[in-house]
């Protein structure tokens, strides 16, 4: 039984931190190293971390100046001594058997990455704890197709990684959507992964969280991240040309899925910077978009609209959703574009 390092960045989550740490301390897999990274939190989080460290010898606390989520995760990776690492946001929880299931699946299928699903828990609701944890083995190009197209798994959380996968790479500091940049590149380093359909990572939906704020305003960082992923994809000589085009389409269209979460806060003016950055990005990519056989005509038409006005696309998108909800049309938005 090998050691698993659980890395938990901590910043301004005082009401949720005890719940989070307790979910790790009570894991059915006991051989843990629990690294609490206090990222300069101004509330009582530092005291709570130190209190837990006094009660459980598996816990170590790193106190550092505020540097953001990526910097805190990187500090945890630097300190980790376990053969495997996993990440947990400090306002979320692990299901009691999460680490054990991920570890057993990884060992039994002889992979370097083990993946569970994220269970979204609305505020005031109780999570589910009964799962079928049977793993599937995903191999070859299907690793990227599965995690980027079929059932996107771009988050750092809900996974168990061989720590050596992070030996020469870290999360990029100072940007949002840091998971979307690093995790696909980590997937590209392996030729197989273990996947379970069990929702073992408990993500509690909060309106004041980073993700909640991101749903109301889309940062132009998203365009930078997607463009860097496409550049990395182009330099990957191990995947087939067929797979390249499919992944290219998925990366290119990923920003559009954020329209699902837009509400009345998402006015055109609130997203001016993103709109400009995405239009410019599409113009740079237009020649390859036209040649991509995996994008439907409707998809290319939609991107052509975006290239000229994201606002018009947004209004059209909302109209299509309304028509579908009223059963006036049978339409499905495909994030992979085919």
pLDDT in tens, 158-212: 999 999 999 999 999 989 999 999 999 999 999 999 999 999 999 998 655 544 4
Q: pLDDT band for 40, please (50, 70, 90 cuts).
A: very high
Question: What average pLDDT does the structure give for the chain?
Answer: 89
What whole-number distance in Å separates Cα of residue 114 and Cα of residue 161? 7
Per-residue model confidence (pLDDT) at position 338: 41
pLDDT digits (tens, 9 = 90+) for 132-163: 999 999 999 999 999 998 888 889 999 999 99
Structure tokens at 165: 């996968």
Compute the average pLDDT of residues 322-328.
71
- Inter-residue long-range contacts of 238-246, CB under 8 Å, 24+ positions, other chains counted: 238/188, 239/141, 239/144, 240/141, 243/141, 243/144, 243/145, 245/292, 245/293, 245/294, 246/145, 246/149, 246/294, 246/336, 246/338
pLDDT of residue 126: 87
Q: What pLDDT shows up at residue 214? A: 46
Calculate the alpha carbon distances from 39 to 12, 19, 67, 252 in Å. 9, 18, 7, 33
> Which pLDDT score, from 0 to 100, does residue 293 have?
86
Q: Which of 192-219 are b and which e, b meaning 16 or more Cβ less than 10 Å from the residue's Cβ? A: ebbbbebbbbbbbebeebeeeebbbebb
Distance, in Å, from the CA atom of 155 to the CA atom of 302, rounded to the nearest integer, reads 27
pLDDT surpasses 90 at 298: no
Structure tokens, 63? 């106190």
Which residues lie below 8 Å from residue 287, measured CB to CB, with a gap of 6+?
Answer: none
Task: Tell me the angle at which helices 221-234 and 178-187 cross, rounded to the nearest 10 degrees.
Answer: 20
Please report the pLDDT score of residue 323 as a whole number: 75
- Residue 208: what pLDDT? 53
Lowest mean pLDDT among 44-58, 197-211, 219-233: 197-211
List of domains in the chain: 4-210 (3.90.550.10), 219-325 (no CATH)
What average pLDDT does range 56-64 have in this prediction? 98
CA distance 71 to 62: 12
**pLDDT above 90 for 309:** no
* Rounded alpha-carbon distances, angstroms, from residue 139 to 152, 161, 193: 16, 16, 7
At residue 260, the pLDDT reads 60
Instruction: Calculate mean pLDDT across residues 41-65.
Output: 98
């Amino acid at each position: 039984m090998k050691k698993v390092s659980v890395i938990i960045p901590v910043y301004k989550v005082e009401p949720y931190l005890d719940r989070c740490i307790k979910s790790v301390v009570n894991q059915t897999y006991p051989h843990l190293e629990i690294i609490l990274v206090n990222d300069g939190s101004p509330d009582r989080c530092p005291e709570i971390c130190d209190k837990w460290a006094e009660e459980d010898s598996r816990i170590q606390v790193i106190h550092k100046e505020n540097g953001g989520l990526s910097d805190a995760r990187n500090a945890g990776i630097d300190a980790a001594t376990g053969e495997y690492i996993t990440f947990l946001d400090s306002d979320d929880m692990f299901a009691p058997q999460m680490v054990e299931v991920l570890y057993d699946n990884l060992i039994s299928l002889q992979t370097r990455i083990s993946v569970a699903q994220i269970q979204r828990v609305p505020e005031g609701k109780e999570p589910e704890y009964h799962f079928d944890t049977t793993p599937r083995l995903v191999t070859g190009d299907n690793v990227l197709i599965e995690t980027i197209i079929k059932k996107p798994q771009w988050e750092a959380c809900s996974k168990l990684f061989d720590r050596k996968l992070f030996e020469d790479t870290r999360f990029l500091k100072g940007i949002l959507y840091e998971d979307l940049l690093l995790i696909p590149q980590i997937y590209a380093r392996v030729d197989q992964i273990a996947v379970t359909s069990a929702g073992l990572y408990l993500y509690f939906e909060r309106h004041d969280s980073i993700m909640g704020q991101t749903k109301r305003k889309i940062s132009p960082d998203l365009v930078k991240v997607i463009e860097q992923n496409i550049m990395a994809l182009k330099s990957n000589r191990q995947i087939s040309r067929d797979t390249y085009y499919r992944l290219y389409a998925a990366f290119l269209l990923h920003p559009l899925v954020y329209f699902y979460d837009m509400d009345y806060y998402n006015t055109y003016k609130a997203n001016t910077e993103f709109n400009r950055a995405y239009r410019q990005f599409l113009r740079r990519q237009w020649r390859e978009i036209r040649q991509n056989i995996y994008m439907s005509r409707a998809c290319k038409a939609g991107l052509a609209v975006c290239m000229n006005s994201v606002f018009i696309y947004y209004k059209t998108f909302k109209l299509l959703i309304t028509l579908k909800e009223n059963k006036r049309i049978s339409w499905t938005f495909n994030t992979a574009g085919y």
